[in-house]
Amino acid sequence: MRYIEPHAHMVSRVTDDYVEMVTAGCQAVCEPAFWAGFDRSSVHGFYDYFCQLTEHEPKRAAKFGLAHFCWLCLNPKESEDVKLADEVLAIIPQFLDRPTVLGIGEIGLNKNSRNEMTVLEKHIDLAARHDQMILVHTPHLEDKLKGTRLILDALKSDQRIQPERVIIDHVEEHTVQLVLDAGFWAGMTLYPESKCTPARAIDIVEVYGNERIWMNSACDWGVSIPLAVPKTALEMRRRGHSAEAIDKLIYQNPLKFLSQCSKFKLTL
Amino acid sequence: MTRQQVTDLYFMEARSKLIDLAAFLDRVERAEGEEDFRVKAFRQALGELSKKAPGKARKALLTFSDPTIKPIAKATTKAACGAWPGTKSANSGKAGGFPRCLQNVKSPV
């Protein structure tokens, strides 16, 4: 089995996770910028975090034979503070040319507030001005449907944005059709309690098709499973999906999307 | 897969989850106090499961979802609680949209 982990917060994981992912067939890991579990006190905290994502973590992953890429932004959970967001957005361009930066993400919404919308629009503008791909986080639980609608409206209202270069993550049964119908890529996150279980993710593929869709573990410092993607592949096999169908979903699809960024290479 | 194969593969797991749901409701009903909006939404979602129409997971998710379309004025918490409170403040776009009593509810990241 081979797969790409397109969404994982490896700075929160231990080296054993890298070993197990590589052992399971992981060819590359992509790490969107994330909330630390607490609010960073200033732009300096983000500067250090972006250095960690673009310098330290690729080296750590390389020790285990894994290519590591990242996305940069201020996460929606910290978007209520627009002044801080402006400061963070101002330092992002100096990182965009680094060799493992794929684009802007994971931007989006958390509680669907006006300030979050303002910061989302600023991120979209930043991505458009610098010709960057976008990875979008959609809100949790009861906020997901509304947030997904607001995000789609914001993206579609900016004529510079090409939907095929945007992945909207954490879709579930009530949002996946909205995302695919609008021409965007859809990401399914495999979590033990919230978002999608492996069985539900496979259901979604069986109902909505396997084009413009991927699966990820989004493993971080919370309850999450770094091997969720290969474990879901095993579940697909149990259901009788072919090796080709599994490979398309967990390897070829993320490869197709991510390869739109010329910096995405599977060799170290 | 045939319907029989799907049943063979997933029945025991689904049965276990169903009994867990039943036990959860028994637990809630044994406890003192008023039922909050999350349990009401939960019961509404359960109602979707006994209908014969397809899309049960989608419809269950919709019963928990905020149906409004305007951004709220301000996020007063980072957490989600699993069901839309349906409060006036959430509808009007005023700050919050999240019950004060649930400010410390554990939320996924």
Q: For residue A176, give how far its alpha carbon lies from the nearest alpha carbon of chain B (Å).
A: 10
**Mean pLDDT value across residues B87-100:** 46
Query: Domains of chain A: which residue ranges?
Result: 3-258
Q: Which amino acid is at A19?
A: V
pLDDT tens string B40-87: 999 999 999 999 999 999 999 999 999 999 999 999 999 999 999 986
**HEC per residue, chain A:** CCEEECCCCHHHCCHHHHHHHHHHCEEEEEEECCCCCCCCCCHHHHHHHHHHHHHHHHHHHHCCCCEEEEEECCCHHHCCCHHHHHHHHHHHHHHCCCCCEEEEEEEECCCCEHHHHHHHHHHHHHHHHCCCEEEEECCCHHHHHHHHHHHHHHHHCCCCCCHHHEEECCCCCCCHHHHHHCCCEEEEEECCCCCECHHHHHHHHHHHCCCCEEEECCCCCCCCCCCHHHHHHHHHHHCCCCHHHHHHHHHHHHHHHHCCCCCCCCCC
The separation between CA A216 and the C-alpha centre of its own chain, rounded to angstroms, equals 8
Cβ atoms B1, B9 nearer than 8 A: yes
Question: How many angstroms separate the Cα of A31 from the Cα of each of A27, A102, A141?
Answer: 14, 9, 22
A to B CB pairs, distance under 8 Å = 96
Q: Which of A190-204, B20-34, B91-105 has the lowest mean pLDDT?
A: B91-105
In a mutational test of the B interface, the residue from A38, A111, A196 whose CB has the highest number of chain B CBs within 10 Å is: A111
Strands A166-168 and A101-108: unpaired
Chain A residues within 8 A of B69 when measuring between CB atoms:
146, 149-150
Residue closest to A199 by CA, chosen among A171, A236, A253: A236
End-to-end CA distance of chain B: 34
ipTM attached to this prediction: 0.94
Distance (Å, rounded) from C-alpha A132 to C-alpha A139?
22
Q: Would you call B48 an interface residue with chain A, using a CB distance cutoff of 8 Å?
A: no
pLDDT of B101 above 60 = no
User: B67, A146: Cβ pair inside 8 Å?
Assistant: yes
**Mean pLDDT value across residues B94-106:** 47
pLDDT tens string A217-241: 999 999 999 999 999 999 999 999 9
Distance (Å, rounded) from C-alpha A199 to C-alpha A206?
11
**Helices B37-49 and B56-64, axial angle in degrees (round to 10):** 160
Of 3.30.70.360, 3.20.20.140, 3.40.630.30, 3.30.360.10, the CATH number of A3-258 is: 3.20.20.140
Cβ atoms A155, A163 nearer than 8 A: yes
Distance (Å, rounded) from C-alpha B11 to C-alpha B5?
10
Intervals of chain A under pLDDT 50: none
Q: Would you call B28 an interface residue with chain A, using a CB distance cutoff of 8 Å?
A: no
The separation between CA B50 and the C-alpha centre of its own chain, rounded to angstroms, equals 16
Cβ atoms A218, A9 nearer than 8 A: yes
